[in-house]
Amino acid sequence: MDARVRHSLSAWPQRPPGMPRTIKQPGTWLRARPDNWTEGMQPFLKLPGSRHLRTLPDGLWLHFSTDPDDPYADILCVEACSSLSNLLDKRSRFAPSIGSMQVYCPLPWLLAPALPETHLPRWRLIGMFQAEPTAAVVLTVRDVRVLYGLRDEHYQGFCESQMPAAHEFFCPMEALMDEDGHQNPAMQALVARTSAAANFMQLPDPAEVRSEHSRPQPPSPASTIRRKRRTTSEPPSMRFIDSMYQEKLKA
């Protein structure tokens, strides 16, 4: 069952399906797990100072900060739970605590392309990086959202008698095993509700936010590097990368 879920999740795009583009999360979304293209390690979750007890979600999407002076990551995890004991164990890993969760991004994963056809390393897609990383990157997790897939009998019982935490979302296991699940409007609507913007009645217009911070400031090194990149080789958009991925799946 876990293998079927991971196979289906490998067809999901780099940006989680249905995830809106808002001022709350203006950075880059990348699929960290499952990753069929990168040899070696994939990103994983851990606690500060811990070298063991890693958390390896069935699906893991990372939203990276755009500010090199304030690095962080938001995460969307997808967990397939084949039993109630498995659900309890996985829920405990993401329970709120005073400690901060971290995401470990191995160097080979950062240097590898999001797709082999692009030959563009992932770190170039992440505005947080000013230069090519030379070591693994460990980021503080700012926001956690988890989507649990449950067997039908467990899903029905949970819906009737249990209350989810604010960061938890649930769906039937069949929805995760569906190879075209990322195109399901109901799944896209559910993922959209995991957005940080869903907690607000309405968000200010991005133009208004920019006008409030329009005081002249010297260009940062990161913005200078980004301008140089645009004048040389403009990185393809994530939408373009996802379109290439879908074409490869159909081939």
- Name the residue among 250, 234, 215, 242 with its Cα closest to residue 120: 234
Which pLDDT belongs to residue 52?
80
For residues 138 and 131, what is the distance between their CA atoms, to the nearest angstrom? 16
Which pLDDT belongs to residue 233?
45
For residues 1 and 174, what is the distance between their CA atoms, to the nearest angstrom? 10
Output the DSSP codes for 107-146.
Answer: HHHHHSBSSTTT--BGGGG-TT-SS--SS-EEEEEEEEEE
Give the residue, 229 or 13, on which the prediction is more confident: 13
Q: Is the pLDDT of residue 236 over 90?
A: no
pLDDT tens per residue, range 19-68: 999 999 999 999 999 987 666 689 999 999 887 889 999 999 999 999 99
Round the CA-based radius of gyration of the chain to a whole number and report it: 19
Which pLDDT belongs to residue 225?
45
For residues 89 and 85, what is the distance between their CA atoms, to the nearest angstrom? 6
Give the residue, 90 or 246, on which the prediction is more confident: 90
Q: Are 159 and 170 in contact (CB under 8 A)?
A: yes
For residues 69 and 227, what is the distance between their CA atoms, to the nearest angstrom? 18
Q: Is the pLDDT of residue 90 over 70?
A: yes
pLDDT tens per residue, range 111-164: 998 877 778 899 999 999 999 999 999 999 999 999 999 999 999 999 999 999
Which pLDDT belongs to residue 219?
58
Which pLDDT belongs to residue 250?
61
In this structure, the strands spanning 44-46 and 59-64 are: unpaired
Structure token pair of residue 49: 């100072």
- Tally of residues, the chain: 251
Rounded to the nearest 5°, which phi and psi values hold at 165? -75, 170
Q: Hey, which residues does 80 pair with through a beta bridge?
A: 149
Reduced to 3 states (helix: H, G, I; strand: E, B; else coil), residue 157 is: helix
Which pLDDT belongs to residue 244?
62
Hey, what amino acid is at 142? R
Which pLDDT belongs to residue 32?
95
Which pLDDT belongs to residue 206?
73
15: left (phi over 0), alpha (psi -120 to 50) or beta: beta
Q: What is the mean pLDDT of residues 99-108?
A: 91
Which pLDDT belongs to residue 234?
46
Give the residue, 41 or 76, on which the prediction is more confident: 76
- Residue 221, H or E segment: helix 221-232
Which pLDDT belongs to residue 114?
83
For residues 155 and 84, what is the distance between their CA atoms, to the nearest angstrom? 10
Structure token pair of residue 246: 């879908």
Domain ranges of the chain: 2-198+220-250
Q: Is the pLDDT of residue 231 over 50?
A: no
Which pLDDT belongs to residue 191?
97
Which pLDDT belongs to residue 155?
94
Which pLDDT belongs to residue 216?
54
Mean pLDDT of the chain: 85
User: Buried (b) or exposed (e) across 199-232, using 16+ Cβ within 10 A?
Assistant: eeeeeeeeeeeeeeeeeeeeeeebeebeeeeeee
Per-residue confidence band for 3, with pLDDT thresholds at 50, 70 and 90: confident
